[in-house]
Structure 1
Amino acid sequence: MLKPSRLLLPLLAALFAPLAVADTPHATTTDPRIDALLTQLGKVRSIGEVALSPDGHQLAWVVDTNDKPGIMLADADGKNAHSVGLASKPGSCSESGLAWAPDSRHLAFLSNCASSHSSMGGKQADVYVLDTQSQEKPARLSNLSGYVHALSWAPDGKSLAFLYVEGATRRASALAAAKPQTGEIGVEGIEVQRVATLPAQGGTAQWVTPADSYVYEFSWAPDSQRVAYVAAPAPGDNNWWIAQLYVQGVQADSARTALVNPGTVSGPLRGLQIAVPRWSPDGSRIAFIGGLMSDQGATGGDLYSVPASGGAPTDLTPGIHVTPAWFSWSSPQSMLVSQISSGKVQLAEYAVQADHAQQQRVLFTAPGYVGDGTAEAALSFSADHRQVAFGQSSYESAPEVYAGAIGDRMPAAVTSLNAGLKPSWGKAQSVEWNSEGFHVQGWLLYPVNYDPSKRYPMIVNIHGGPSSAVVPHWPSVGYGAAPFSALGYFVFMTNPRGSFGEGEAFVQANRKDFGYGDLRDTLAGVDAVEKLVPVDDRRLGLTGWSYGGFMSMFAPTQTQRFRAVVAGAGIANWQSYYGQNLIDQWMVPFFGASVYDDPAVYAKSSAINFIKKVKTPTLIVVGERDAECPAPQSFEYWHALRALGVPTSLVVYPNEGHHFYNPANQRDVLQRALNWFEKYLPPQ
């Protein structure tokens, strides 16, 4: 899922020009509408984080200026907002990583404004603390060398904990560009992310977790003496799918206790993934989300709990038809849960007993994606859980900060950072249908300036994951579906089986069945849309990234209904992919076995095995150093289409991983896709 930004100077664009293979479209020769659209999308000021003080009186947020994140501080209602931190002026350096102290007076954050170059290149981020009731400059607490994030105060306010990769050469994420694969693979250059602590007054960072465990998430115990965390052996990019839940004291040489091992536990959690560990307020148990998850950070499943002293985990929400993505304990017997329901994000209140949790009411349903920047669909609450703050955007509204009392309606926006921006695409509509006994939902964008007397082409977009969901959000420059609507297309974004939003059984319905049931769900959705609006079935396009890229490669082997395809970071051959990618651990939960134990289940869903059925012109794009969907997969598909005489083009973007970070590349990939569809599916 790309999060593109503005185009760099022409010199940088030349330095980072993509490698083009075959007859690629000329991304620089576009009609004026495309350039105007990309320019408008580049004006969005993105909101990276939102943090409400524990007493509910102050609000901080991180907003981009000139592609540099900076910190704003305001009253809880957004008034008296002003820039804080070390930046001499907004946009001159980067500051983020907000964390309020329990006293609601001190705000910790990360800043590279006064730092030297880091091991990752660029400037090193360090930990600072601002006294919001003083005129003094923020105090520097650390002198780090590596990648640091996820700041969190101990409940007693005496120390800060964070995730830290000492000597890091890259961001700690499978989405980031992989390191060059040189030296002794799997042995040399392994980077380990651990929990470290720092005294509130500053000093030397102390390791908490062992050097042989890669930590993905952590949570302080109420007594400030322990942490719960999710970890696995290094390398971290690969092993999140087999991570376990641990508890450990924060003092030096504290022993750790393994609480939950999904690989050996009995019951519905066996073989699945765990995320978002959270201590109950009384410290008696730890709750977490367990489910079939295809990417760290894209969280969804059932709510579970386990005694903090050890024991069997309990599924608190079996059989529910929504997908909890994040939660916060509001009392020892209640939670506030951020959940996905048929393509929408809801905040719901749950009553929690020893062995089950029951939804009491939905507090609000957001019109678009919400989040405070710390985790998927996370919200920032006051300590008493009576107030909430978050960032939100939709197809109708650009990103703003929202804050207010928790009640029966969503709080209002308290910023107007993007108030002047209006959609250049058409209206959005939720579409629901039934497919083979499943309730399925998707989002339909109308063409701009829609005329019901005309017939229109439609582009179908399938999201990545597959354990994820399309939720309305304001697009940014880079690859995405919404811009096609601005050029005269219907755009249909489906949430077929395998997606979040309909319960865990729906998520698991495409295990060992990639490309079949979810394609039938999508085609049934296309039929439903064509009964609602004037879509020309002879001008259907298909696109997607990651798993959506796989579907864009696989679908043309099963149907001739799509007349043009753009496949981003796709997978052509699950058998060869197993040995090429750096995250093979994610595949066993979905395929049921390794490729060596059951090659047939991988062959069944490999587009390359049905490649002679493909007739659809296909543009293929991928990052050169993609660890999740390696470039050889795109080469394999492109090579086959070229040999078969199918119109095709392959573009490989240098130094990019699964998530593109170079603004020039973010812009270029969207430009090429727009040109491709205009060539083969011209709006009339």
Structure 2
Amino acid sequence: MQKRMLVPPDLLALAYPGDIAVSPNGELVAYTVTRLDQDKDESKTDLYLFEFGSGNSRRLTYGGKEGKGCFSPDSSRLAFVSGRDGKSQIYIIELAFGGEPWRLTTEENVAGNLCWFPCGTRLAYSAKVFSQEEGWQPYPGAPEGDSARLKHLADKPHADKQPEPDKKENLVKVVTRFSYRRDGSGYFGDVREHVFVREVPIVPPQSPLPAEGRRITSGDFDYTSCDVSPDGSCIVTSARRSKDADYVLARDLWVFPVDGGTEELLYAAPSPTSNPRFSPCGEYVSFLGHAGESATSTTTGLYLLPFFGQDRCAHSDAIAVTKPIDRPALPGGFWQGKRFVFPLADQGCVHIYAASVDGTVEALLAAQQTSYLSLAGAGKTLAYIKGRFDLLEEIWASREGAERALTAHNMQATAELLLAPAEHIAFVSEDGQALDGWLLLPPDQAEQTVHPLMLFIHGGPHGWYGPRFMLDAQVFAALGYAVLLTNPRGSESYGQRFADIIDGNWGDLDCGDVLAGVKAVNARGVIDQSKLFAQGWSYGGYLACWLVTRTTEFNAVCAGAPVSNLLSGYGTSDITLADEREYGGSPWESAPQMLRSSPVTFADRVETPFMLMHGENDLRCPVSQSEEFYTALKRQGKDAVLIRYPGESHGLKRPLHRLDKLTRQIAWFEYHRRR
């Protein structure tokens, strides 16, 4: 079969494997697959199961709104959260018998964090509920009945939804908290996330179960991520339990008894903690966190904490396992006997490591220019998505040193498509900093051909590029572009100093670094210096805006969801504390510096044709940031266009919008390429 080039509609044809779970006996792998439904303009996610015994994979659900699976201790059941009936609930599949999942009904909309008890007859989960006590008033002097109205709104699945046309309802929002909304979910008011426990019938019910669920945690606080102790007596969870919780980063670890008793502080953290996990013997708790030296820019590490029981929560010093490595540990780790297996990012790649309770760390899977994503494991099985630039995503597994692909959801596309391999390149900035990135050349053209250059700029700013399939990059390579992806200073996975050196000084070192990458590729003689293009999203959008205020060498640039004015952007985002660190302070402290780092301040220098794209419901980098830069350019008669996506938040979700973005970018760049 003659292979063809990747085209934008392939976005809708590919399958996207996602969350993975491995059964406790290591013989089953449950995973999600997302597909984009063009007709309904929505993404649909369902669960699949791979069995090592048969070597086959089968589809478990057809609801289209399924979350990650969670195996029961005996590996016979799979629990998951689904929004299939309009309310987020727990469902259970009897794996031995098949059939439809049955619903484990709760009063609350379940947020996730499913965790079985060792007995197999209980499940812990998290749910977002109204957190205020009886007699609460939203603020002194609030109208009578306002507290009841707000509680009614909080109990709705979606507090931002509009009233039905024939029903009049007061949906006025009252804001008194510093943190009151989140990108992608909107206004949450006085709703907090708590941990609940639900009894699970041994035998599947013959009729719908009554709504039940017992709240374990307490107070007007958020509890995120949890785990059940090996004896089932207590739960460990992460929380900010203070009156000024919205203003601090620290998130402590707490232990709650399941059947009565008082909670105990397990670990007073200097910074956020997450993903606590009991060791199988119950003698340790692993978690992700950091010491907070660089506030929100501090590299997250793996910690191991001795645990002496819920009645003796001595505040032990946690072992900072990955501190000497100076690389970020990522979520997805699990205990394997007396060692903890976890993903760790290093120079753009994600490898799999194991940490022993004595603090020693060793690499388990660290292939060159490969990433191991969405890690899960149990027993002798490691399961993951294998990431390379020229490899469509599938679920893979490693067992006793032997690796194999478990799935073939993209088998037809793999047979049809000619993908561009990536070359890892190294170069040096003007001030001598060692840098690297990846170069994708058109896969079907002669080696001596010169190509227009497409520079991709990642978001974050502490994100990074690394080996994994990137559809947008492959599409532009298929169109004949040389595609450059770099990790400038500010990127994670290169060490703490490399990541936080740009804090409070955006646009200086980072801009010079991406331009050094362009210069290095140009020196290879593979690009047409007269045809340079660039694009980026989020912080990448910011740097795209900044780029055109510093150079006129690009023919056209596209910025998606950027920040263009750090001063006016303050307080309009859902991550204000992080913004203070990134921007270098607050308006009353650092206004001159914030304006000096704002692209809109230098909009008079822009001579490059410029496209802006933005979701109209973006709460991370509000659409007003694109509006400001667009208006500044248009007011001066410059070549600019603004594309607005209705209903979208920081990242585009609807299939038609995602396809429109890619198609519109291609048309824009191709027009300027031909000029």
Q: TM-score range by the shorter chain?
A: 0.7 to 0.9
User: Residues of 1 paired with 2:668 and 2:212: CA distance?
Assistant: 54
Decide whether aligned partners of structure 1 residues 234 and 602 sit closer, same or farther in structure 2, where only a CA change above 3 A counts: farther
Equivalence for 1:176:
none
Equivalence for 1:361:
363
Decide whether aligned partners of structure 1 residues 210 and 588 sit closer, same or farther in structure 2, where only a CA change above 3 A counts: farther
User: Residues of 2 paired with 1:292 and 1:468: CA distance?
Assistant: 20
Range with greater deviation from structure 2 (194-203 or 329-338): 329-338
Range with greater deviation from structure 2 (210-219 or 669-678): 210-219
Equivalence for 1:101:
72
The Cα of 1:369 is off from its aligned counterpart by 4.6
Cα deviations by residue, 1:133-157 (Å, 9 ceiling, x for unpaired): 2356533211445353232212443
What is the aligned residue count?
603
Range with greater deviation from structure 2 (428-437 or 628-637): 428-437
User: Residues of 1 paired with 2:580 and 2:318: CA distance?
Assistant: 22
Work out whether 1:184 is the aligned partner of 2:179: no
User: Residues of 2 paired with 1:499 and 1:130: CA distance?
Assistant: 41
Work out whether 1:82 is the aligned partner of 2:54: no
Range with greater deviation from structure 2 (219-228 or 52-61): 219-228
Candidates 108, 113, 120, aligned match of 1:150: 113
Decide whether aligned partners of structure 1 residues 389 and 657 sit closer, same or farther in structure 2, where only a CA change above 3 A counts: same
Q: Which runs of 5+ in 2 are unaligned?
A: 38-42, 130-154, 161-169, 178-187, 202-208, 308-312
Decide whether aligned partners of structure 1 residues 185 and 41 sit closer, same or farther in structure 2, where only a CA change above 3 A counts: same
Q: Percent identity?
A: 26
Query: Would you say the 8 A contact 1:162–1:196 is kept in 2?
Result: yes
TM-score by length of 2: 0.81
The Cα of 1:581 is off from its aligned counterpart by 1.8
Candidates 313, 316, 322, aligned match of 2:321: 316
Decide whether aligned partners of structure 1 residues 40 and 182 sit closer, same or farther in structure 2, where only a CA change above 3 A counts: same
Equivalence for 1:474:
469
Decide whether aligned partners of structure 1 residues 332 and 523 sit closer, same or farther in structure 2, where only a CA change above 3 A counts: same
Equivalence for 2:204:
none
Q: Output the amino acid matched with 2:410.
A: N
User: Residues of 2 paired with 1:96 and 1:245: CA distance?
Assistant: 27
Q: Within 5 A, what are the aligned runs for 1:76-225?
A: 76=52, 79-85=55-61, 87=62, 93-113=64-84, 115=85, 123-134=86-97, 137-166=100-129, 167=155, 169-170=157-158, 183-186=173-176, 189-201=189-201, 204-225=212-233
User: Residues of 2 paired with 1:205 and 1:660: CA distance?
Assistant: 35
Equivalence for 2:274:
275
Query: RCO higher in 1 or 2 (8 Å CA, sep ≥ 6)?
Result: 1
Work out whether 1:535 is the aligned partner of 2:527: yes
The Cα of 1:528 is off from its aligned counterpart by 2.0
SS at match of 1:433: strand
User: Residues of 2 paired with 1:518 and 1:611: CA distance?
Assistant: 19
SS at match of 1:432: strand
Candidates 376, 379, 389, aligned match of 1:380: 376
Work out whether 1:445 is the aligned partner of 2:434: no
Cα deviations by residue, 1:552-598 (Å, 9 ceiling, x for unpaired): 11122223332311000000111110132232121233345333223
Q: Which runs of 5+ in 1 are unaligned?
A: 1-32, 116-122, 173-179, 266-271, 373-378
Decide whether aligned partners of structure 1 residues 360 and 97 sit closer, same or farther in structure 2, where only a CA change above 3 A counts: closer
Range with greater deviation from structure 2 (273-282 or 575-584): 273-282
Query: Would you say the 8 A contact 1:146–1:164 is kept in 2?
Result: yes
Work out whether 1:247 is the aligned partner of 2:287: no
Decide whether aligned partners of structure 1 residues 278 and 145 sit closer, same or farther in structure 2, where only a CA change above 3 A counts: closer
Equivalence for 1:391:
385
Query: Would you say the 8 A contact 1:59–1:78 is kept in 2?
Result: no
SS at match of 2:46: strand
Q: Output the amino acid matched with 1:251.
A: V
User: Residues of 2 paired with 1:339 and 1:522: CA distance?
Assistant: 25
User: Residues of 2 paired with 1:298 and 1:163: CA distance?
Assistant: 27
Q: Output the amino acid matched with 1:223.
A: D
Equivalence for 2:164:
none
TM-score by length of 1: 0.80
The Cα of 1:533 is off from its aligned counterpart by 4.6
Decide whether aligned partners of structure 1 residues 227 and 192 sit closer, same or farther in structure 2, where only a CA change above 3 A counts: same
User: Residues of 1 paired with 2:298 and 2:659: CA distance?
Assistant: 28
Decide whether aligned partners of structure 1 residues 472 and 258 sit closer, same or farther in structure 2, where only a CA change above 3 A counts: same
SS at match of 1:570: coil
Equivalence for 1:39:
9
Decide whether aligned partners of structure 1 residues 529 and 289 sit closer, same or farther in structure 2, where only a CA change above 3 A counts: farther
Equivalence for 2:397:
403
Cα deviations by residue, 1:273-306 (Å, 9 ceiling, x for unpaired): 443333344434433333599xx99995232344
Equivalence for 2:236:
228
SS at match of 2:325: coil
Equivalence for 2:302:
303
Query: Would you say the 8 A contact 1:324–1:338 is kept in 2?
Result: yes
User: Residues of 2 paired with 1:183 and 1:298: CA distance?
Assistant: 32
Equivalence for 1:346:
351
Decide whether aligned partners of structure 1 residues 567 and 258 sit closer, same or farther in structure 2, where only a CA change above 3 A counts: farther
Cα deviations by residue, 1:419-472 (Å, 9 ceiling, x for unpaired): 111445422111122334543221211124232322211111111111221123
User: Residues of 1 paired with 2:65 and 2:539: CA distance?
Assistant: 32
Q: Output the amino acid matched with 2:435.
A: V
Decide whether aligned partners of structure 1 residues 223 and 415 sit closer, same or farther in structure 2, where only a CA change above 3 A counts: same
Q: Output the amino acid matched with 1:249.
A: F
Decide whether aligned partners of structure 1 residues 462 and 136 sit closer, same or farther in structure 2, where only a CA change above 3 A counts: closer
Decide whether aligned partners of structure 1 residues 142 and 47 sit closer, same or farther in structure 2, where only a CA change above 3 A counts: same
Q: Output the amino acid matched with 1:64.
A: T
Range with greater deviation from structure 2 (322-331 or 527-536): 322-331
Query: Would you say the 8 A contact 1:228–1:247 is kept in 2?
Result: yes
SS at match of 2:13: coil
User: Residues of 2 paired with 1:580 and 1:247: CA distance?
Assistant: 32
Q: Within 5 A, what are the aligned runs for 1:599-618?
A: 599-618=591-610
Cα deviations by residue, 1:383-439 (Å, 9 ceiling, x for unpaired): x3x2111233432221211123043x6x21011111111445422111122334543
Decide whether aligned partners of structure 1 residues 137 and 541 sit closer, same or farther in structure 2, where only a CA change above 3 A counts: closer
The Cα of 1:195 is off from its aligned counterpart by 2.0
User: Residues of 2 paired with 1:540 and 1:475: CA distance?
Assistant: 20
